[in-house]
Structure 1
Amino acid sequence: MNISRVGFLSVGLVLSACGEQQPAPTTFSTTLSLSGIDSAEIEVSDSTHHIYFSGFLNKTATLNNLPANEYFTIKRQKINGYKNSGDQYFGANLDRGVVNIVIQYDYAYNPYQVSGNIEGLENFSGTLLINDSSDLTFGKSNIINGYVDLKLTNIAPPQADLVNRFSDTCAEDTTSPLTATFRSMRVLDINGTLVGVVKERLMDQSRFNPESQVVRFYSDNAYSWYGYCNIFLVNSTNSINASKGWNALFMQFNGSDYQFDIIPEDQKTKLVFIPLKAKKLSLWFDIPSISFIYGSRDTKQLNAYTQYEGYYIGYVDLSTDIPGLNVSPSRIILSGQNRNNKLNFTYTGDKKISNIFHLYAKDDKGQVLSTVTGNLSVQ
């Protein structure tokens, strides 16, 4: 069992009832209760290293016939995603009993929730899909103004999605778990169009490979492993302990393969949007002609249509090649495959003109994605 020791947690005692002095008890009972997690591997021993409990504690367990006037140590399994609060200690004087003992697990990050503002999706509303590595969708959540709050406690992959990704050569336990994983989450716009993915990264990315990220996985039972385990390449000096249910690991590329490890306890995670950009953007007018009376400052409207090969989310900046011919809005948001954009044109030039003009759609780097040609008349 992979258990660490750090720190001390005192346990309060309950005074016996007032009145006539009773013979001091020679044994006592107590109840162990988990808080913050459903299952964890626990070992309870006394000062002589005699073991009273060893194995997985599922919520609660009662220990009977514990000798009085003795102190006991609770060794707790270190679980990925939870702070390591270390060993707990408890005991009883000859004339006292003990209260029930709570074994607390606190999050270093939250393995049961994907929540927060999505970087790159400000003011965007749509749907977040959870897909496993076989591309099966088993969960979703709304995105509202770039914010998502997905509670994984409400999501469990169907049994058909769970597969054995481990080999017994790296197992610390005899039975390999069945798991489902996801490294990214798909994003759909309000029309149901796929526009990109969300990946979970560590907040302090400067300390790690730029492509490093968080991998979420579901396990049908608690498990420990080390070394090379099929898709998991783990530092052999740092065994991984998974709890039943949802877990999270830190993944980074080591130059030849992906390496998985526990997430550093001092790290927080963030959500980052990665758009699926179009291979080609097409832009055209339904009626490609506008005319002005010189000096009138009139506004003329054209319908401009966008079409994509592939998918794109983001914005494009619009501009013309004629001095004084202005377009508004000068920036349009693209979040689907096809769109009709109503564009307003004004002319503030200092001369009459009759010529063709070009409307340019440029990305955030100033690269021209598409050009459309129209006729301009100012008389």
Structure 2
Amino acid sequence: MKTLKLPAAMIGLTALLTACPSTTDTGGVTPPSPGSAVQATRVAGSVTGAPAAATRAVLIVGSDYDFANTGTVKGGVLDLPLTKAPDSRSMFNLTSGGGCTFTGSRTNDPSVALFTDVELFSEQIDSLAFATEQIVSGGTAPGSQVARLYSATAATVKGTVLCANPDGSKFTAALDVVLNSGWNALEYAETNSTLTLRSLGSSVRSELKATAYTPSVLVSLGSAVTITSDAGMSVPARLYQEGGYTGQVSLSTDVPGLTIEPSTVNLTATTLQSVQAQATAAYLKNLGVNPQRLDTNLTFKYSGNDNYSGSFRVIVKDTTGKQVGGGNGSLEVRKPGLTIGTCGSNYLELYPSKTASLNVCGYSVGNFSGPVTYSATGLPAGVTVTPVTQTLNGSSYLSLTFKSDATLKPGTYPITLTADGGTVKASASTELRVPAPTVNIAISSTSYYGQQIYQGGTAQLNVDVSTQNGFNGQTTLTVTGLPAGVTASPKTVTVTPGSTTTTAITLTATADATLGNSTIKVTSPDQSANSYGAETQLSVRPARAALGSTVGEAVGATSGLWAVTAMAYDSSSNAYRNTVTRFTTTGQSAASAAVASQNSLQLIRTTGGVIAFDSGFVKAPALIADDGTVTQLPAANLGNLTAFTRRADGQGRVWFVNTVYTGVGGTATSLKTWVPATGVITTVDSTANYGSGSYDAQLTLGADGKTLVYLGGYAGDALKIDTATGTVTKLDLLKSSGATSAAIAADGTIWFSAYGQLARLNADNTVNKFTAVQTGTLTGFDQSNPAVLWGSDTSNVYRIDTAATPAATTVNLGSVSKAILNAQGGVQVITNEYNGNTTTYYLSQLK
């Protein structure tokens, strides 16, 4: 077997790895004759299995022949003397070149040529077989054979050569040779990607064994085939008889309508007659040409309707129909004719009892011109077509009209467009599609954001169903994609052609339905594939309780929350009368009180109740107990407030930052405390930069009341305050990071949000930013689970788990007014909803 084209470096070694390996199987019995002694400059001996017609021999490896030395085969006995150097193109450096790496010792890097087999030819230089000189005794490796190596110089080489093939694979050659200048006989063995070359021992004996080639026929065409008429074209052809093939063969092609005359050929054991042919036989063979052949003319004819340009293959079969060879050719058919095809849409859509048109184009081929009738065949029952005749002179554009009756059934039907020009015809395939009667489904959401449902509640999903393609009757609607805990029963509706039916599907959510957003879809077995609008977003939200139409300022309570629920002007007292209500966690009113003010009312949570004070400090503040009892407090004027804490610390103090005027154009901003019970106001610090007039400042009190974090907005610094000592520390990293809200963990660690993302100030004064964690504005750490941090924005609440790597769970609640920590754990969320007339406020609890 000779399959390799030899590469530039290590060419012979690479070729050996893909040549067929020789095998010797003695069955464990020592042959009575141990073969023949190996000669370095001659290959000689009886060849087992040599074809009777073999008369000539040369060395070979892969596809490389040594034509400098030729031998004879007589009666199966080979005699191939090696007296001349091989062609220089067969030479390569044994241990270097082509990306190969040698490891070992060498006296020289000789230029060598390596051959592993002997090619056996007929007298006509036809390859009949290859012979391998197999080692039968004295070898060092199982299955080894004798290879012939020509070396330009003497050398001793011992080591390994590692080479890479073009495909990236690697192989290794193990060398242990002492080379003479000239021809050498070596032991050669191959296993997978490794070959071995060794000098032969003195006791080595060998036998020659031949492997015959499978006889076949190679067809070579002398020119391309060009057909412009029914007469076809005759081209010179050579049928090479590989392996001495003889007998009758048939000739055909792989192009429908392309035939060969004669279709059968008789191949005989002919010989080359001319001296010139014999003299050039070896040269031709080296170029891959097999001189034993039949020279003849083959006529190609084409009966197809369509012209053709491209390659084709000649197929050679024996009398039993078995393929025994072939060849390739180039074909161009330019017979006068025409082609047909669709223009624009490549299919026709037709409904029962309707008429539809399909645009068709015709084109001349080979200057054809004349009248052409266009039509269609293969039409389904209930469909007819009106043929159209036009004169074709280059191109035609027309519409074929198809008509159906009421019996036409839905489906996709393959049909054939035809063009009949008398002596020439053409056809093309297309489809006739009859759509089934269907319905279109569209969800008409009550909100831009999709459909909402609350845990433990129900919601109505409004659906519009319209007909398409004449659908008339009932269809069943099913909602898919519902999250866990939400169900919807299928609903059957009746629809009629030309109308839209609107129906409502009831969604039901359990009390523990999975919170979050899901994409749901309304489907029907009769739904059109082009039905759009059947999907919407379903937002499952926590259960909610209505608080009324007015909820203003709100803070946490011992249980539930306090909120300003009404503000009405009392002309008799020239003041506003505010209603402050305490709601339970379930949204029930537990207590309420009336407080007068001249301006909007502010609330501060304190032990056992809430402090309500006039933001303009015209009216004295009041303490409202959890049962609704009101106690007036000493008057206090907190001045121009920049920020204040929404709850009192453990000592009953409210911390605040205010700005006072010190003269013409002068102001001073400082940190102070106010004890509502006594009315005492104390300045804690006036040296830090609190940012005079910063409208976006925030003052956050830690859960234990020991630490304050002040974010001074655009004008002030970020500060940390020890409430026991009044010590103020700048937090430059919070300022430079763009902190807009902060929360203090139970261990004193400061967490903050910057541009809506989570960050943490570490004890070593470094900052970790968790950019994948959305926070909104931080509300604070959970009162029951200290690892949970809460945040919110105008639509969502964020539950942030700060243990290990922080991660946030987002819960959409629609329009969020405020998020307030629940003293018993979790967060209380006030939302609002506008129904077109009034706004209603609701309370939800998240854990």
Q: Give the number of the structure whose alpha-carbon radius of gyration is greater.
A: 2
TM-score by length of 1: 0.42
Q: Which has the higher contact order (CA 8 A, sep 6+)?
A: 1
